[in-house]
Every structure is written in structure tokens, then in C-alpha cells.
Structure 1
Amino acid sequence: MTSPHTHRTLRVGIVCPYSFDAPGGVQFHIRDLAEALINQGHEVSVLAPADDDTPVPPYLTPAGASIPIRYNGSVARLTFGPRVAAKVRRWLNDGQFDILHLHEPMTPSLSMLALWLARGPIVGTFHTALIRSRALQFVYPMVRPSLEKFSARIAVSEDARRTLIDHLGGDAIVIPNGVYVNTFTHATPTPQWQGTPDAPTIAFLGRLDEPRKGLPVLSQAIPHILTHYPNARFLIAGKGDEGKRHAEQQLSNHLTNVEFLGAITDDEKASLLTSVDLYIAPQTGGESFGIVLVEAMSAGTTVIASDLGAFERVLDNGQAGYMFRTNDPNDLARAVIEALNNPTERTQRTQRATEFVQQFDWKEVTTKILTVYEMVLSASTALGKVTEDPSALTHPREAS
């Protein structure tokens, strides 16, 4: 897919349904997309839930406080209601956007409100990947009349595309999440996070309170790994006091080998991933892509991941990392020991990952998204000409 040669500056409005008070994968995707578009000279405004005192980038318009709601197997911070709808309408009117890009528009938050209120070219990006979703079944009647307003749909993975088809009908083009590959490739290692062949360092990064992120699976695997590598160190990064307490109970006899780092900054994450020997992704479900896998691959770190469909595709069907049976701590331990026992094989898979990950660089991803924008705008312009001259519907040659 190649981008059309265009030099025009676009005014792009991007709507994020989830709060920047507690950012996650979708928020980071939107932030990076906005900055990639701005770096190419486009004008971008992002609308997202955020408290007035939350630090946000200058291109982001806060839409006010959000409330935590359990949604699609996680806790999402959303905002809704008439007052919020008024803010969305004002933002749309002020922006006069060439194209509106809504993320997760099936989530009852800002994107859904914008879909109801907006006119003109609209692109939707769908991130969610679930086999069955009661939440999507619940909101479908609310948005069904508005689905035809989409000029184009994007899914961040084949799994997200399948969820969209199964729950909403229609189809979408797959454009993966993006990563600034060089940020991780050139990150500076932190000495205390680096390991040795006899004392490797193994990292986990994720919300500790969400069981589907897989920390309990890793915790159960750690004792078995330590029987083979008694000096191994496990670096666990992420928020979640309850999850941390549960892990400490599980690992009560092995806590000298485990360090909880708490929340870390983006720079610290890049340094962590380039420092450690292995990155573990033990998620148990609900993953549409696996952005942190791509970040670890970019950093040159060996990835060991559960065999979720999304992870298999990111790891080139296991050729760019190691896979283990989802929710199986014994098989996770087996994969870790196999990787540590065979440094030559591990190096080969890591080199494959370094090549494979280039397709996820924001330079490539932004080009594909801009191509969708241009296709949508071209179709909109053509439709506008037809509408102005109804004879074009029956006499296209005369209209041209």
C-alpha cells in the first residue's frame, strides 16, 4: 500500500474514548499518531477525557473528568452525558476538520458522541479483540444507525478486524499499532537491570491488578525457572497494589529474586527493555495486538509470549520469539529455560525480530493511515461533485 503524493496540509480531529489521567495502549497509540502527523506538517487536535489539572500535550483538548467502568475485561475511564456532548459539539465546530478519526467508537464515551454529532468524512479505528463481547452487544443498538457514517474503518490487527465483523458487520483494513522503533533500538541500558548468563534478568510490564495481563501466570512459573537458574532476577513494572500483594504472597519464598519497580516512565521503559535478557508477555486474553512486544523486539530483547493469535502474528508465528501455551505456567517456564539454555538460537530469533519489527515503525504506519485519509477525502470530493450535478449519476461522461 503506497501513499499518494500529496503536499496539502490536513486538519485532523482525533477522538480518544479513554482518559489520559490513567493512559494505556489506546491513549499511547493516539498520542504517537498525533505527533507523527504533526511532524509531517498536518494540523491535529485530539479530544480526550482528562481532568483539568492533568498534564496533557498542547494539541489535546481535555473533555473533563472520567469515571472508572468495567468494560471489555478491563477497567476503562470513560466520560459521557449531555454536558460532555456539548463539549464535543463545540470542539467539532471549532475544529472544522478535513477528516475526523474516531478510536473505539463502540465504547460509550467521547468517540460514540462524536459519531452521533459529526458530519463529513469519518474514519474509525477499532482496537478491541474479543471472541464474545456482551459490552459490544449492548451498545450495538445505540450506534447501529450511525455505522453508515464511517467513510473507512481500520482495525489494528486481524483479531480486532474479526471482532468488528462478528459484532458489527462490515469489514476493515488492517493497519497495525505503531512504535517509534529507533527510540527502543537506541535506548541506553541501565546497569542494575542488566544480567549475566548465570544471573539473567527477566522483565514483565503491565497493570498488576488485571489478571488478564498474566502476572499470576508468571508468578507460578518463577519457582520452576529458579530451580534451573537460581540467580535469575525478575523485574516487574506497573501499577497495582492489590496485584503486587497477591504476587508477593505467591512468591513469598522467592522474593529475593523479584523486584517490583512500580510505575515507570517511557524513557525508563525503553531502558528496561534494552537492558534485560528476556521480556515475558503472559497475557491470558483480550489482546488485539501486543504493542509492548513490538517495543521489546525493537529494543533487541528476546520475547516470550503466550500463544494468543495477536501475539503469534506479532512474533511471526514464533520465528521472532518464543511462544508458550496460554495460561500454562509450566509451559512458560519451559520456554524461558529453553531460551536461556540456547543463546545461539535465541540470538537468531532476536535478529529475526529486529527485521520483522520494521513494518510497525510509525513511519510505515503513518503512511498507511494517510493513504486511507486521502482515499476517503478523494471519494468525498467525487461524491460532492456528483451531488452538485445530479446528471452525473446518469451521464457520467457529460459530467466529466
Structure 2
Amino acid sequence: MRVGIICPYSLTLPGGVQMQVLGLARALRRKGHAVRVLAPCDGPPPDAGVTPLGLSLPTAANGSVAPVAPDPSAQLRAIRAMRDEDFDVIHLHEPLAPGPTMTALLLRPAPLIGTFHAAGRSLSYELMPNAVRFLAGRLDDRVAVSEDARKLAQDHLGGRYDLTFNGVELRRYEDSPTHPTEAPTILFVGRHEERKGLAVLLEAVTRLGADVRVWIVGEGPDTAVLRARYAGDPRLEWLGTISESDKIARLRGADVFCAPSLHGESFGIVLLEAMAAHTPVIASDIPGYANVARHGSDALLVEP
């Protein structure tokens, strides 16, 4: 089967949806399907099976910033790719995000499956209810990655949604080397913004001993302020954006993974990654994380 997967977010920037798209493509290829991923890219495509649609434009969404490509040139590239590839089925991740997924809904060149990732609140659903319901009605099947994502979609779009949780490729974690560390090490992975709770973690670290080390992965609008605030703390190692292989190695090397998000999480894929690396997890007790980890069994969940 010729399968198209369209991601509205730049595949060269870190993100849970992007990881699911690339992982699903690899899994389908192992099953013998011909898979082509269409998505914006802000650098060289991360996989030979990716057709880049152009650069992304940072856009505010769900308390964060989404690297989408709503510009006309990206839509033309998507249209040409869908025409040339002649897909048997097209899988749209976040089908109502501005850009190529919405273009595919309008054209509907093949049967369409839509996977909904977002939870919490959607301003576009609230401001354009008739338009988003019309577009969602062009999907042949609808999937949600969590109960919260299904509730958001059902409340605004109606329809039936199959619940299919996100996953990780266990072999990539089992085969990975372990990054060395010489001190008890906490790992944080995520965008540096209010909802991810990095400021809360760093404040808590001030109460810990001098022998603790903190690996901080990611970047964001709060990076400069937080680095300046804690500039004198030698325990903090600001790693910026790192490769997927380095992230997995550090997940395996850390003594604990901390996910202190305050809100806005649909499905805690980072918790799955830490568990796949056999690393203990401390996370906020919010619905998106409670869907993934059981308190006292899979993780220590605490009030955000």
C-alpha cells in the first residue's frame, strides 16, 4: 500500500507529534508498505522518506509555539507531492492545523485518516466552529491519542474517534549507549516556556545539595531569562537542542527524569521515553501524564 503521512509541524524541530510521525513511518515500512512523509523542514530532512514542504513559521498555539507552514508555496509543494505519489491512503496528524494537513482535507485526493493530538483548549475550534466541523467531516476515520484529545475534538467537532495511544520504538532505547555522569543527575527535556514548568524545577533544585547535576535539554522563549537567573549555579548543564540519539543516551544515563509541566499536555510521550530507558520518572499529576503513568507504580506524580 502507498501511504502518505502529513505532519503540519517542522520535522527538523523537536516535538512529540513529529516523533510519532517518523516512528509510524518506520513501522509501516517494516510491514512492507511504501511510505512518504510530507512536512515542513527547517534544515535537511531527518529521513530519506521525507518530502520537505519548505520552512516553518512559528505560530502561537495551545500556550506554546507551533512550527507550521501555512504559506502558499508549502501548499503547492504538498499538492504536487500528493498528485505525484498517488497515495492509497493519507494519514493527517493534527488535520486542522494550518498548512498541508488542511490542504489535504480540502483536496481529499485519497481516503483520509486524521489523528488528533491536542488537548485542553483550541482557539480555532471556538472562533470558526462551522469551518472546522466542515473540514473534519471530510475525514474517513478519526483517531485521538488520549481521552483528553478525544474530548476536545468531540466537544467541538462531533464524530466518532478511535482511541490509539502514542508509542515508542523500544529497540532504539535497548540498543542505545548510556551517557556517563559522575553525580546524581536529573534530566529535563522540553521547550523552555511557562507551561512546561522548567522554572519550577530550577527553583526546586536550589534546595538540593551541591552534588546534584541537572541536564537541561531544549530551548524556548524563557531560556535566556532562566539562564541569567541561575547563571552562578555550576550544577546546571544547558544542552540546548540535541540529537535524538543523544537524548536517548542521556535518558539512559540520568538517575531521574523530571517532567514538571503545569498544563496543556495531551499525552506524556516523554514519560514513555523515560520508561523505555528504564529511568525513574517524577512528573506533574496532570491528566496528560496520568493517562500514561500510574502513581506509585510507573512514576511519582506530584501536584503541579
TM-score (norm 2): 0.93
User: Structure 1 residue 223 and structure 2 residue 206: aligned?
Assistant: yes
**Equivalent in 22, 25, 30 of residue 13 of structure 2:** 22
Structure-to-structure mapping, 1:229-308, within 5 angstroms: 229-240=209-220, 243-251=222-230, 255-308=233-286
The answer on whether the counterparts of 2:126 and 2:156 sit within 8 Å (CA) in structure 1 is yes
Q: Which residue, 176, 197, 201 being the options, matches 2:165?
A: 176
- 1: distance between equivalents of 2:65 and 2:215? 24
Which amino acid counterpart does residue 217 of structure 1 have in structure 2? V
Report what 2:29 is aligned to.
38
Question: Does the Cα contact within 8 Å between 1:12 and 1:101 map onto a contact in 2?
Answer: yes
Give 1:168-207 correspondences, 5 Å limit.
168-191=157-180, 193-195=181-183, 200-207=184-191
Counterparts of 1:293-332 in structure 2 under 5 Å? 293-326=271-304
- From 90, 95, 107, the equivalent of 2:97 is 107
**How far is the alpha carbon of 1:139 from its aligned partner?**
4.3
Larger Rg computed on CA atoms: 1
**Most deviating of 87-96 and 276-285:** 87-96
1:85 counterpart (59, 75, 83): 75
Q: How does 1:127-206 map to 2 (within 5 A)?
A: 127-130=117-120, 132-191=121-180, 193-195=181-183, 200-206=184-190
Could you tell me how far 1:256 is from its partner in structure 2?
2.0
How big is each residue's C-alpha offset from its partner over 1:205-245, in whole Å with a ceiling of 9 and x where there is no partner? 1122x221110110111122x1xx442111111124x5333
Structure 1 residue runs of 5 or longer lacking an equivalent are 1-9, 327-400
Corresponding position of 2:40: 49
TM-superposed CA distance for 1:113, in Å, is: 0.8
Whole-angstrom distance in 2 between the partners of 1:62 and 1:45: 11
Output the amino acid matched with 1:55: P
Percentage of identical aligned residues: 41
Describe the SS at the equivalent of 1:234. strand
Residue 71 in 1 paired to residue 51 in 2?
no
Alpha-carbon distance between aligned partners in 1 of 2:243 and 2:93, rounded to the nearest angstrom: 24
Distance, in Å, in 1 between the alignment partners of 2:247 and 2:234 is 22
* Mapped partners of 2:271, 2:282: distance in 1: 9
Amino acid at match of 1:266: E
Deviations 1:295-354 (A, max 9, x none): 11111110000011121121124421101111xxxxxxxxxxxxxxxxxxxxxxxxxxxx
Amino acid aligned to 1:214: G
Structure that is richer in strand per residue: 2
Measured against aligned partners, the alpha-carbon deviations of 1:58-103 in whole angstroms (never above 9, x if no partner) come to 2111112221111221111222244433333222221221111111
- The two structures, once aligned, show a CA RMSD in angstroms of 1.9
Distance 2:97 2:296 in 1: 32
Structure with greater helix percent: 1
Rounded to whole Å, the distance in 2 between the matches of 1:183 and 1:21 is 19
Q: TM-score, normalised by structure 1?
A: 0.72
- Cα 1:141/1:318, change in 2 over 3 Å: farther
**1:125 aligns to what SS in structure 2?**
strand
Deviation at 1:20, TM superposition (A): 2.3
Change in 2 beyond 3 A, CA 1:139/1:61:
farther
Q: Is the Cα–Cα contact under 8 Å of residues 8 and 99 in structure 2 kept in the other structure?
A: yes
Gaps of 5+ in 2: none
